[in-house]
Amino acid sequence: MPNPHRRKFLAETAIALAAAPFISTSATREKSKQSRKLGVAVCGLGRLSENQIAPALMKTQHCRLAGIVTGTPGKAAVWKAKYGIPDSSVYSYDTMHRMADNPDIDIVYVVTPNALHAPHTIAAAQAGKHVFCEKPLEISVERCQSMIEACRKAGRLLGTAYRCQYDPHHLECIRLMREEVFGKPTIVQAGFAINVGEPTQWRLKRDLAGGGALMDVGIYALQATRYLTGEEPILVSAIETKTDPVKFAQVDETMVWTTKFPSGVVAYCSTSYKDGGIQNLRVNAERGWFELDPAFFYDGNHGRRSDGKDIRFPEIDLFAAEMDDFARCILENRPTKVPGEEGLRDVRIMQAIYESARTGRAMTLA
């Protein structure tokens, strides 16, 4: 008479062997999904795209440059030759809807002037593509909301290009502050300024930029105060000044502002289009301080602490880091830490800063 234990063993083995191909196939499929590189179409081929974003895509583990969107045929020809982009993946701003028929493109990275972010994001989302958008997300809260809604309706992810949130130096400052390594923080100082240069560029045109130094580089300082504290400001007060009212007739040249946070931390921030010497971030606490200077560059950021230790990590490509993380979020079906809502919050605060500077009154933030 056959051994019942042996019959049970043989039956279980047969079931396991029968299931093995399916288990293996499922595991292989999941591994393939995780290792697949997502195709990125760069929308807007200006200097940032040419000098930072395209080279960064060559370094990513989970992305690849798969297409371009431009209104300049000459630029399209250069990019096609340099990166081997096929004609079928080259679009104008008016033909972005055709991306719906291109499975090689998964993500559209929007790098156009600020006031064009909404139409280009909405077009990409309606074509079924995820969107990663340069900061500021847009020039008004309403336009930001339209972008968020379009991506939500399409079931696609919307990310804001806050590269400093991937910088190990900034991540270390967040740790130092949140863990209160030097005691409770009291004052945050942050500033970023550049010499903007050419007076005819789009950054000095209100209808395209939405604002000047604050919208362009001041947003780095504003963002830093928020992710360092982990809080939203409850009060803001600002002053604007111009030393060149002709060049900066349409946008802000220099802006300083203070914000108060629920914990009692106060932040003092500054930005300008006429000073290239401000690029710092500093936190003062009960028993010491820490700072980054420079804090907001593409590379070379570093800092120090009041106990004599340096804040210095190996350099990474921040554009590659943020794109790889966004791709992983898509592949793993999880939220991004820099969603459209994060971009909207900064725009709302910047609008309050502008209003405070205009009226001379402190603005309460809900």
Active site residues: 135, 220
Among the residues of 155-272, which ranges form H helices?
A: 168-178, 206-209, 213, 219-229
With CA atoms as reference, report the closest residue to 260 among 283, 235, 224, 281.
235
C-alpha angle 214/219/223, rounded to 5°? 150
Cα pseudo-dihedral 119, 121, 126, 130, rounded to 10: 180
Question: Could you tell me if 151 and 328 are in contact, meaning their C-beta atoms sit under 8 angstroms apart?
Answer: no
Helix and strand numbers (H, E) in the chain are 12, 15
With CA atoms as reference, report the closest residue to 149 among 134, 135, 131.
131
**Using alpha carbons only, how large is the chain's radius of gyration in Å?**
24
Task: Give the amino acid at 16.
Answer: A
- The sheet that has 130-133: what strands, in order across it? 90-91, 63-69, 38-43, 107-110, 130-133, 158-160
**Residue 222 and residue 211: Cα distance in Å, rounded?**
15
| Residue 241 structure tokens | 């000044």
C-alpha angle 233/292/326, rounded to 5°? 70
Task: Give the amino acid at 158.
Answer: L
